[in-house]
């Protein structure tokens, strides 16, 4: 079974920072029960979509909200997940009807695919939701991962073209015009689900929470001290949990794409999982990892791959152009920041150096 193929690196929430300087000031009126709730949140962790999903709610008496939250996650995962040889999900049905007929889908899936096609267009194809035939060939991150032959790659490249995804707004249908095409939403789906989880939380009156869908992180509201959450940025050269620095955010999504979270080694050469739809091989540039901070996790998920594909210089220019905050880490352990982050990012790992663009 092929679960959602996220093209991103894990980003860590630093819970150790949550209460830094949170002694009560004269203006703080948090009562004992509220403080206890904030230090002992209602929390649930499940293994879904091939990854660890954790949601923590810091509001008092909101533990029951975890039920509709995980029900929503499971529902969307069932609709999106691609299954080898089986038409279980809505995306499976779209792929199996490629070149045959349009498939009517749910509102959520239609919205997600529409967003995916929009970002594919913005990226001029360096991010492409029809990359399915190629990612299935490499299958990096799964036990059967392998380096395909050049002939195999050449055979699937003509099938990758988001422009042949036909969307009908009135009928809410999706049609892949050419037989053999496959949609792979791994580069945007976790962000979309993260946003939907946030919406469920807000609809149920939750004001303070942390959502972590296998590294797609959203921080809702503020922490126990009434300040923004401190979020650690993953070191792309180290195991999960090692960071290079931190930023403080509230009501924001933080998504990271990088080269060392999932990779394949063949004859001493490392092939990471961020594949270039244009040549069929992993992107080769100066980026080891890029973190994107956005209001919507759907945007951050797609943009993390889009910016990675451009390299540091062009990625920085594009992020500045569209007004998105981003942190770029190079193979040389240099860190480049978009302008608005220069006074917000705190470097904590002396092996890295913040550079001016």
At residue 257, the pLDDT reads 85
Q: Both tokens of residue 355? A: 């550079």
At residue 274, the pLDDT reads 82
- If we measure between CA atoms, which residue out of 217, 241, 243, 242 comes closest to residue 229? 217
At residue 86, the pLDDT reads 62
Q: Both tokens of residue 9? A: 């690196």
Residue spans per domain, the chain: 12-16+36-73+188-355
pLDDT in tens, the chain (357 residues): 444 443 333 344 444 333 333 333 333 333 334 444 556 899 999 998 878 899 999 999 999 999 999 999 999 999 998 876 566 899 999 999 999 999 999 999 999 999 999 999 998 878 899 999 999 998 877 788 889 899 999 999 999 999 999 999 999 999 999 999 999 998 899 999 999 999 999 999 999 999 999 878 999 999 878 899 999 998 988 866 789 999 999 999 999 888 766 766 777 777 677 888 999 888 889 999 999 999 999 999 999 999 999 999 999 999 999 999 999 999 999 999 999 999 999 999 999 999 987
Does domain 12-16+36-73+188-355 fall into CATH 3.10.520.10? yes
At residue 84, the pLDDT reads 63
Cβ 229 vs Cβ 221: under 8 Å: no
Other Cβ atoms closer than 10 A to 175: 19
pTM: 0.87
How many residues are recorded in the chain? 357
> Could you read off the pLDDT of 248-264 as tens digits, one per residue?
999 999 998 887 667 66
Backbone angles phi, psi at 324, to 5 degrees: -110, 135
> Could you read off the pLDDT of 38-89 as tens digits, one per residue?
568 999 999 988 788 999 999 999 999 999 999 999 999 999 988 765 668 9
């Amino acid at each position: 079974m092929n679960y959602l193929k996220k093209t991103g690196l894990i980003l860590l929430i630093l819970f150790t920072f949550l209460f830094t300087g949170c002694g009560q000031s004269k203006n703080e009126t948090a009562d004992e029960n509220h403080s206890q709730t904030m230090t002992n949140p209602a929390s649930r962790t499940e293994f879904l979509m091939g990854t660890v999903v954790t949601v923590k709610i810091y509001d008092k008496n909101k533990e029951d909200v975890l039920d509709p939250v995980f029900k929503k996650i499971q529902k969307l995962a069932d609709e999106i997940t691609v299954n080898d040889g089986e038409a279980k999900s809505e995306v499976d049905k779209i792929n199996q009807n490629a070149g045959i007929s349009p498939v009517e889908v749910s509102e959520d899936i239609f919205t997600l695919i529409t967003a995916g096609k929009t970002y594919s267009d913005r990226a001029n194809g360096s991010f492409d939701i029809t990359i399915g035939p190629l990612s299935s060939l490499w299958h990096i991150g799964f036990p059967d991962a392998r380096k395909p032959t050049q002939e195999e790659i050449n055979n699937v490249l003509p099938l990758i073209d988001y422009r042949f995804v036909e969307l009908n707004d009135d009928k809410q249908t999706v049609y892949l015009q050419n037989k053999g095409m496959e949609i792979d939403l791994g580069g945007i789906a976790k962000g979309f689900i993260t946003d939907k989880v946030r919406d469920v939380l807000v609809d149920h009156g939750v004001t303070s929470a942390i959502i972590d869908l296998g590294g797609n992180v959203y921080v809702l509201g503020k922490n126990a001290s009434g300040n923004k959450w401190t979020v650690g940025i993953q070191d792309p050269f180290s195991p999960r949990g090692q960071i290079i620095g931190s930023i403080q955010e509230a009501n924001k999504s933080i998504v990271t794409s990088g080269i060392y979270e999932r990779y394949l080694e063949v004859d001493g050469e490392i092939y990471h999982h961020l594949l270039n739809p244009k040549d069929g091989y992993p992107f080769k540039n100066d980026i080891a990892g890029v973190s994107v901070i956005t209001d919507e996790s759907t945007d951050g998920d797609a943009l993390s791959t889009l910016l990675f594909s451009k390299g540091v210089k062009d990625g920085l220019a594009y992020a500045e152009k569209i007004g998105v905050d981003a942190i770029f880490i190079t193979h040389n352990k240099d860190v480049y920041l978009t302008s608005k982050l220069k006074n917000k990012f705190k470097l904590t790992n002396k092996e890295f150096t913040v550079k001016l663009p």
